[in-house]
């Protein structure tokens, strides 16, 4: 199984080729450039380094949200085009799930979170044990204080906080001795973790069914509702 994994849900962007659970090539950027300028280049470089063509890919795994509204749209739209033109099945992966899969070999609880701004985070909660990940809570967008209160239910248990919203949340929870901030290397979603989540999901869809996952209305929609 050859998987092309793609993420553009946050400030960073990345693509990777994974063959039979082994990373073949990976390209990553944190340059600040818009994903519309970088994603195709990252994918082209990944395929070139792996000496593969798009037609060699068996599955495209894409983080379809939550995250940056623009970033999510760019990634999903790009994958829809690549999939449609080449008849490649697609697996939609939660960006929060792909963060959690960085810790599949750790026995601990993992709280994946991404900065949703407005004092909110996108988050989900997992139990990692014996090489498996059990999702304990659906993806949601909530105030940071609510998430802190949820963590208090798991006293005396090691909880790893990871994702680009983890620094913000950890500041609120650092008085809890059982809460640990993940190391920078595994804090962000990456090609291997996206592919691992996709293989666990197992279900693929055609390009016309692939949709973004936003969790809440955009700022423009929220302001329209208020007015």
Domain of 21: which CATH number?
Answer: 3.30.420.40
Among 11-20, 28-37, 118-127, 193-202, whose mean pLDDT is lowest?
28-37
Same domain, 120 and 199: no
- For residues 2 and 57, is the Cβ–Cβ distance under 8 A? yes
Same domain, 116 and 142: yes
**So what's the pLDDT on residue 130?**
93
Same domain, 81 and 129: no
Same domain, 58 and 162: no
Same domain, 68 and 10: yes
pLDDT at position 219 over 80:
no
pLDDT at position 7 over 70:
yes
**So what's the pLDDT on residue 49?**
97
**% pLDDT > 70, the chain:** 95
**So what's the pLDDT on residue 31?**
80
**Average of pLDDT values for 204-222?**
80
**So what's the pLDDT on residue 80?**
96
pLDDT digits (tens, 9 = 90+) for 77-110: 999 999 998 999 999 999 999 999 999 999 999 9
Mean of the per-residue pLDDT values of the chain: 92
**% pLDDT > 90, the chain:** 81
Same domain, 37 and 60: yes
**So what's the pLDDT on residue 223?**
54
Counted domains in the chain: 2
Same domain, 40 and 111: no
pLDDT at position 226 over 90:
no
Q: What angle do CA 150, 151, 152 make, to 5 degrees?
A: 90
Provide the token pair at 189: 């979603």
The range of the structural domain enclosing residue 195 comes to 2-95+189-226
Measured CA to CA, the distance from residue 106 to residue 127 in angstroms comes to 9
Tell me if the bond preceding 141 is cis, omega within 30° of 0.
no
pLDDT at position 160 over 60:
yes
């Amino acid at each position: 199984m050859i998987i092309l994994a793609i993420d553009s849900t946050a400030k960073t962007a990345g693509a990777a080729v994974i063959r039979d659970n082994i990373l073949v090539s990976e390209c990553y950027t944190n340059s600040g450039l818009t994903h519309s300028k970088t994603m195709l280049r990252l994918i082209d470089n990944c395929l070139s380094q792996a000496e593969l063509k798009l037609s060699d890919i068996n599955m495209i795994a894409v983080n379809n949200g939550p995250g940056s509204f623009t970033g999510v749209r760019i990634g999903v739209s790009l994958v829809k085009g690549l999939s449609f033109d080449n008849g490649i099945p697609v697996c939609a992966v939660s960006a929060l799930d792909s963060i959690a899969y960085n810790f599949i070999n750790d026995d601990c609880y993992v709280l994946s979170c991404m900065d949703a701004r407005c004092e909110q985070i996108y988050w989900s909660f997992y139990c990692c044990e014996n090489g498996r990940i059990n999702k304990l809570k659906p993806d949601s967008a909530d105030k940071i204080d609510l998430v802190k209160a949820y963590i208090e239910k798991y006293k005396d248990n090691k909880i790893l906080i990871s994702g680009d919203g983890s620094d913000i949340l950890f500041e609120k929870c650092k008085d809890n001795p059982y809460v640990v901030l993940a190391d920078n290397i595994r804090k962000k979603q990456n090609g291997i973790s996206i592919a691992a989540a996709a293989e666990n999901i197992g279900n693929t869809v055609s390009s016309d069914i692939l949709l973004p996952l936003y969790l809440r209305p955009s700022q423009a929609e929220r302001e329209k509702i208020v007015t």
